[in-house]
Amino acid sequence: MATVGSVATILSLQIPVSPRGDAGGQTVPLIAALGLCMLGLLEMLRGASVSRRGSMGAGATQSDNRYLKYVLALLVLCVTYGFLIGAIGYHLSTGLAAVAGMWLFGMRHRLGLLLAALVTPVLYHMIFFVGLAIFPPFGEWFDVYDWLTRR
């Protein structure tokens, strides 16, 4: 996790800083990446202290491996979401990622998935773009926001 956080930190530092000097597109990814680094370091420290005490049994490893496919699925979702933001814009990719994330966490009710697809982009739009004045990245192929604001 610390390695993924370190790579994410380096990549988030490549995002251009806002010309006004306020919170820009770099802020949230950088905070999340640094959080991953800290959690990874804490996990490494915890693992080192457990292995020093010798209390880690073989059963703990088998139990942890059971969730590996879900962790890998979330990793694929994150990478795909990052690609989709650049391709089809923030709003549509956020709706799709919300549905995929809810599906991964066990939500199978169609109304719940539909609400996740509709409410999540609107809620994030209100928080980031209206409240924090961070403008959404446009998609290269298509962008819902650009399409809706055409006159």
Question: Is the residue at 120 inside a domain?
Answer: yes
Task: State percent of the chain over pLDDT 90.
Answer: 17
* Distance in Å from the first CA to the final CA of the chain: 45
Residue 89 shares a structural domain with residue 126: yes
Q: In which domain, by residue range, is 22 found? A: 1-56
Residue 151 shares a structural domain with residue 125: yes
102 pLDDT band (50/70/90 cuts)?
very high
Residue 52 shares a structural domain with residue 72: no
What pLDDT, on a 0 to 100 scale, did the predictor assign at position 57?
53
What pLDDT, on a 0 to 100 scale, did the predictor assign at position 142?
73
pLDDT digits 0-9 by tens, 29-83: 888 888 888 888 888 888 766 666 665 555 555 556 777 788 888 888 988 888 8
Choice between 125 and 149, residue whose per-residue pLDDT is larger: 125
Per-position DSSP letters for 55-100, written without gaps between them? ---HHHHHHHHTTHHHHHHHHHHHHHHHHHHHHH-HHHHHHHHHHH
Question: Is the residue at 92 inside a domain?
Answer: yes
Question: Is the residue at 18 inside a domain?
Answer: yes
> Is residue 116 pLDDT above 70, yes or no?
yes
Question: Is the residue at 34 inside a domain?
Answer: yes
Using only C-alpha atoms, what is the Rg of the chain?
A: 19
Residue 82 shares a structural domain with residue 136: yes
Q: Tally the domains of the chain.
A: 2
Question: Is the residue at 125 inside a domain?
Answer: yes
Question: Is the residue at 28 inside a domain?
Answer: yes
Question: Is the residue at 61 inside a domain?
Answer: no
Residue 78 shares a structural domain with residue 148: yes
CB 129 within 8 A of CB 148: no
Q: Record the tokens describing residue 96, joined without a space.
A: 């799709």
Please return the burial class of 85, using the count of CB atoms within 10 Å of its CB with bins 0-12, 13-18 and 19+: buried
Residue 52 shares a structural domain with residue 74: no
